Structure 1
Amino acid sequence: MPFSPTGISKPRKPRPSRARGLRTSTGCLTCRKRRVKCDETRPRCGQCAKSDRDCVYGAPNTPTLENAASLTESPEQPSTARRNTATSATGIPGNTHSPGGCSSLVGDIDPQLFMSSPELRFDLSPLTITTSVPSPNSAPLEWYDLLAEDAISNIQKHNLGFDQTSLSRRQSPVPETPDVDPQLLSPSISHEPPVHHVEPWNTVGTISLTDDELSLFQHYVNVVGPILDMFDPMRHFTLVVPRLAVHNVGLLKSLLAIAARHLALHSVQQRTQSVQRPRSSINGPPETNNQVKALKQVATQYYYETLHYLSKNLLYPVYAKSGEIIATAILISTYEMFDAEGSYNDGGWERHLRGIFWIQRSQDNNGESHDGLRRAAWWAWLRQDIWVAFRESRRVLTIWRPTKRLMDLSPDELATRIVYITARCVDFAANEKQYDMALRIGLGDRLLQALDDWYRQLPPSFRPIYTLPADDTSMFSPIWIHPPVYAAAMQTFHFARIIVLINQPSVGGLNLFRQRRRQLDESVDTICGIAMMHQGQDLPSAFVNFQAVYAAGLCVQTPAKQNAILRLLETTLDVGKFPPKTLLDDLVRYWREES
């Protein structure tokens, strides 16, 4: 008699007859698992095409249905996942509860659950597999053309006074001796061949900085870099990118641009104590409109100088595939994120995210890249694209699928995996009408199962250290999870679950409605509790808090909770200064339409 994972015997289920296909050794694994007749059409059989299911064919001589359940990927999925059999070093929280309310003890989870998790088999975004995607060699140039076109338009529209001809990409062939930007040449650089190899777009010596530039540079290292490194334990944008920037003019200019724009975004400059800043004209708090305006002008100047550098160096194929270019692209994108509501912005950030996708794809970057900087850049880009896709009701741009199983991930990798699953949940929430109700319910169930799989795999470090009682002024109990990245991962998890639950059709009765309401209430309480603990102390956390708190606001109905979330969201926006407080108006408008 079979036993459950807890050791309690349970009656054997009736065995299907041979007439229903139990012993079949032909057809796709999906049809064999469903016990339906397969016409064996490849790459996708008729049954799977009709029901919009993943069609998986096994290797020859695989007649049993159990083999179908053990596959971790579709035919497009690399086979490395099957070869990755390392034992997980993480445990599962003892005596914890899954989001659905089922208790989960250490060692009680069937390993097969994590070998066939549905989060590895979601459909690709139709926006990124069309024939309009540029070739790998032309992707950086196409991305630059997007930037230059918008920049030239702004120069003409707002009479900014920049030389727009300097942004035109040179069309002549690349010379044998690179036409390096003169700013790359340092007086201390000898004309003798260098002892060690230096790429032609980099300087041998450190690029000198003025006092103002050094002040901006330090602001980036202490304030902006940690925002980008929220999910990166190696802190590449804080530790690696600044070292690259002092030898690359384009990367340096983009770094200075984002630092100046972030300072302008804040009404009072946040001073850092770890580094003593030199005297400079922008060292003091920008308390006046003139100072803020000056910072914006400085940021815009550095932004256009970055584009000018790109126009002169992107035609060198090695530079177009370098780590410097992908780091520059992410910094430019983050600059445009901070400038999204600026007077010169016309939706460029949203459009340019697609250009960065082209570059990422041309370099074959993804969330499991061996190069740490490329991996960090990919996750930073995906986090930005998730928010834009969510707000625009479109699917995210990534076409990558993870190869590692949940049980093989480290705690830090589990934190980034929830970002990927959230991207798939945003896909589900996209405004697409081609799915009928039954298919959308099924896809929603797959996503909820993927979220549940992730949650049940978490080690104890993701659990709260302490939960404070709610005070008289708030309806939520502060929740302390440390380190902050694990708190951000838990908020991201509940953000994703809310997205699925409020967009999944329901044909269930009162019991299903009550279950969903309990899950939504749990997610709202967790998101707001974590935001209350972290939003006042941790600026990088604020860039996760505002998204999660906004999603929490979409599923609260009582005026008391709505007012509490408005106050919490406003405080979070005061910390991060992004996005603008018009987000509060959007939430109030949503409540008014739903009432």
Structure 2
Amino acid sequence: METLQTAPSTSKPRKPRPSRARGLRTTTGCLTCRKRRVKCDEKKPRCGQCSRSERECVYAPASAAGTLSIRTSGGGEIDPTIAPPGSNKINTNQQAALSTLISPTSAGGSISTRASFGGDIDPFLISDSPELRLDLSPLTLTASVPSPNSAPYEWYDLLAEDAINNIRKHNLGFDSNFLSRRQSHVAEAQSSNGAPSPTREKSEGPSLEPWQSLEPLRMKEDEMNLFQYFITTIAPILDLFDPCRQFSHAVPRLAVYNVGLLKSLLACTARYTELYPNINQQQNDPIVQTPGSNNNRQAYRDTSARCTGVATQYYYETLQYLSQNLLYPSYTKSREILATAALISTYEMFDASSKAGDGGWERHLRGIFWIQRSQDNDGEKNDALRRAVWWSWLRQDIWAAFREGRRVLTIWRPKKRLMDLNSDELATRILYICARCVDFAAKEKKYDVSIRTSQGEKLLQALDDWWQILPPSFRPIYKADSVESGMFSPIWIHPPSYAAAIQMFHFARTIVLMNQPSLGGILEYRQRQRLLDESVETVCGIAMAHQGKDLPSAFVNFQALYAAGLSVQIPDRQAAILQLLGDTLDVTKFPPKTLLDDLVDYWRAVP
């Protein structure tokens, strides 16, 4: 930075002050100091500011540092007219960097980037965001993980063992012998090494696997009603973050040609309907809240009255199908088994509140991690269905891990940078960052204060980077100027997936702020409390606006409301959050309302 000295009164007039846009802007300091807007002494490999604050010190590439400045909507500045000394135009490296940072030139000739939701953006820092380098979960890395070939069997054995125990414990009346696998690991290994595997007679039609049906499976009337209800009500819950709507579109098409997937779909749907035992008397009929479902409303009500016990029947028939078809290597690598695993997990999530649930859902999430890992599945797969299954599983594991005080199971790390993501991908990326925040909040805190503080800062930086790069589509469409009723102002964001992403952001930030050690000082306390209050206002505002209108969003709202409640100390606000959370649980029917008691017990325990 240029130094300005005050000349004696007898000297020549002082040289004019350089423009703030050029002369006073540092272009060679480290990216961390530029982001924090503090003076950098430019020492390498680590500057003095970063050394004192124990921050990661990152410098821009030589070809980029000090050469680019583009005016952005958020107030940041990159000027493509600045060329290296001795040159009258931008060099090749600069042009390549510009092409990744700017959008096409408008008719007026100005250059602009994607509009910023959160404020100033340093493109070089965003491209190297710490969320790509967050620590993986040691819980998974150190745990015993089955080999890819045995993972499907380990997953099934986990399901079958708990199912058999439940049959005996609750006298369910099923023959547990049907859950025994038909082939050993040795036989499977022989089949995968070239030995003939079971096949059916070839037909003249398209080539199909032996576990696929030649014709669409026939369904009874009650089954068809459940099938339609899955499409209109259950699938949108799973599809909330998926613009391709794979559970609404692809899964039903696959299910009518695969018995196991169809049975799991019916089991999941029937189990959810059992959560509404008095639906004819309820005013908040979930069918009314779901577009396009009024036509089969009465048929659904007739079916729901007969659903008690049906869900369990379909669930055990799904397990029986798995026991007979895991012998096909092609099935263990199929999209169908992934979708079936996702629906079984959703069934068990809904079943977690029942007496026969016995905590199987939380345990079996690990098995789904195994089977996905055996197929090398993750959140950036080209196959839309495989990608949708992964994100659906992660959403469940985030909540289960948070409630259990453990780390999430995933060991995947994204490869795409924030600046390379479109709006829908940004919505799902916050789920990954949130998973790492749940890791930070896990009970196994064995680190010293300095390490914990540093980890918390890295997570907060990752959250801030995500927030800063959000496009205007994540902004509220409506926000009440004043509180009309209650204690919070409604905030409406559309589409619902973007509202859910904002909820997950505040969920993640809240649990990091509450678990990060405090170094003391009134300023730090006030800053932390300001952020927590801001999150509470936003979370409650969004929940109010979407209350009872959007069932899929409610499955995110209850998580954010619960976390927000943990940070509130004022009794009036606690009562308002408790009411909001209770209303949301009336919509979702999951988790059970004992969650309200947990929140009250937490408030009582806080000194």
Name the TM-score, length of structure 2 as normaliser. Answer: 0.81
Residue 33 of structure 2 is matched in structure 1 by none
Q: Distance in 2 between matches of 1:471 and 1:362?
A: 51
Whether the aligned pair in 2 keeps the contact of 1:220 and 1:255 (CA below 8 Å) is yes
Alignment partner of 1:360 is 2:376: no
From 316, 320, 330, the equivalent of 1:304 is 316
- Identify the residue that residue 229 of structure 1 maps to in structure 2: 239
Return the match for 2:302 from 275, 278, 284.
Answer: 284
CA–CA distance in 2 between the matches of 1:141 and 1:224?
Answer: 28
Counterpart Cα distance in 1 of 2:461 and 2:20: 18
2:444 matched to which residue of 1? 432
Contact 1:470 1:478 (8 Å CA) reproduced = no
The structural deviation recorded for 1:66 is 4.7
Tell me the residue number matched to 2:167: 155
Deviation string 1:367-398 (CA, Å, 9 cap, x unpaired) is 10111101000000000000011001111000
Name the counterpart of 1:556: 568
| Structure 1 pair 158–69 and aligned structure 2 pair: CA distance change class (3 A) | farther
Cα gap change, 1:8 to 1:470, in 2 (>3 Å):
farther
Q: Cα gap change, 1:530/1:410 in structure 2, threshold over 3 Å: closer, same or farther? A: same
The alpha-carbon deviation at position 92 of structure 1 amounts to 4.8
SS in 1 for 2:308: helix
Residues 8/242 of structure 1: CA separation in 2 closer, same or farther (3 Å cut): farther
Q: Distance in 1 between matches of 2:513 and 2:555?
A: 23
- Give how far 1:275 is off: 5.5
* Alignment: residue pair count: 524
The 10-residue stretch of structure 1 (338-347 or 127-136) with the greater mean CA deviation from structure 2: 127-136
How far is the alpha carbon of 1:326 from its aligned partner? 0.4
What SS is found at the alignment partner of 1:274? coil
1:101 aligns to what? none
| 1:354 Cα deviation from its structure 2 partner | 0.2
Tell me, in whole angstroms, the C-alpha distance in 1 between the residues paired with 2:250 and 2:237: 15
Alignment correspondent of 1:33: 46
Alignment pair present for 1:318 and 2:334: no
Give 1:262 shift: 0.8
2:230 equivalent to 1:214: no
Say if 1:69 and 1:161 are closer, same or farther in 2 by CA, change over 3 A.
Answer: farther
Change (3 A) 1:252 1:339: same
Give 1:212's aligned amino acid.
Answer: D
CA distance in 2, matches of 1:4, 1:295: 74
Distance 1:4 1:305, change over 3 A: farther
Which residue of structure 2 lines up, in the alignment, with residue 262 of structure 1? Answer: 272
Structure 1 Cα separation of the partners of residues 476 and 152 of structure 2:
44
Q: 1:527 aligns with which of 528, 539, 555?
A: 539
Match of 2:595 in 1: 583
Does 1:392 find its partner at 2:372?
no
- 1:112 corresponds to which residue? 124
8 A contact 1:87–1:408 mirrored in 2: no
Matched ranges for 1:466-545 at <5 A:
466-471=478-483, 473-545=485-557
The question of whether the paired residues in 1 share the 8 Å contact of 2:286 and 2:551 is answered with: no
Which letter does structure 1 place at the counterpart of 2:324? Answer: K
* Aligned-partner SS, 1:231: coil
**Secondary structure, aligned partner of 2:138:** coil
Q: Which amino acid aligns with 2:46?
A: K
Summarize deviations over 1:163-221 as a string: whole Å, max 9, x none.
100001123536735278xxxxxxxxxx6623211111101110000001000000100
Q: 1:9 aligns with which of 24, 29, 45?
A: 24
Q: Distance in 1 between matches of 2:587 and 2:21?
A: 47
Q: Find the counterpart in structure 2 of residue 203 from structure 1.
A: 213
Among 477, 485, 490, the alignment partner of 1:465 is 477
Larger Rg computed on CA atoms: 2
Residues 1:248 and 1:403: Cα distance change in structure 2 (over 3 Å): same
Q: Give the structure 2 partner of residue 372 of structure 1.
A: 384
Q: CA deviation at 1:315?
A: 2.0
Which blocks of at least 5 consecutive residues in structure 2 are unaligned?
3-17, 30-38, 65-95, 104-111, 280-284
Q: Provide closer, same or farther for how the CA distance between residues 120 and 278 of structure 1 changes in structure 2, counting only shifts above 3 A.
A: closer
CA–CA distance in structure 2, aligned partners of residues 356 and 192 of structure 1:
33
Can you give the 5+ residue segments of structure 1 that lack an aligned partner in the other structure?
23-31, 36-46, 57-63, 71-81, 99-103, 181-190
Equivalent position amino acid for 1:9 in 2 = L
Rate the CA distance shift 1:273–1:451 in 2: closer, same or farther, 3 A: closer
Tell me how far 1:114 sits from its aligned partner.
1.1
CA RMSD, 1 decimal: 3.1
Does 2:364 match 1:338?
no
Q: Tell me, yes or no, if the aligned pair for 1:469 and 1:478 is still in contact at 8 Å.
A: no
Cα distance in 2 between the residues matched to 1:131 and 1:393: 17
Whole-angstrom distance in 2 between the partners of 1:153 and 1:5: 73
Report the CA distance shift for 1:137/1:386 in structure 2 as closer, same or farther (over 3 A).
same
Partner of 2:578: 566
Contact 1:92 1:456 in 2 (8 A): no
Q: Per-residue deviation at 1:433?
A: 2.8
Cα deviation for residue 403 of structure 1 reads: 0.6
- C-alpha displacement of 1:132: 1.1
How many Å separate the matches in 1 of 2:154 and 2:391? Answer: 22
SS in 2 for 1:342: coil
**TM-score of the two chains, using structure 1 as the length reference:** 0.82
1:304-335 deviation per Cα after TM superposition (whole angstroms, max 9, x unaligned): 00000000011211100100000000000000
Q: What's the secondary structure of 2:46's corresponding residue?
A: helix
**Structure 1 residues 4 and 522 mapped into 2: Cα distance closer, same or farther (>3 Å)?**
farther
Cα gap change, 1:322 to 1:593, in 2 (>3 Å): same
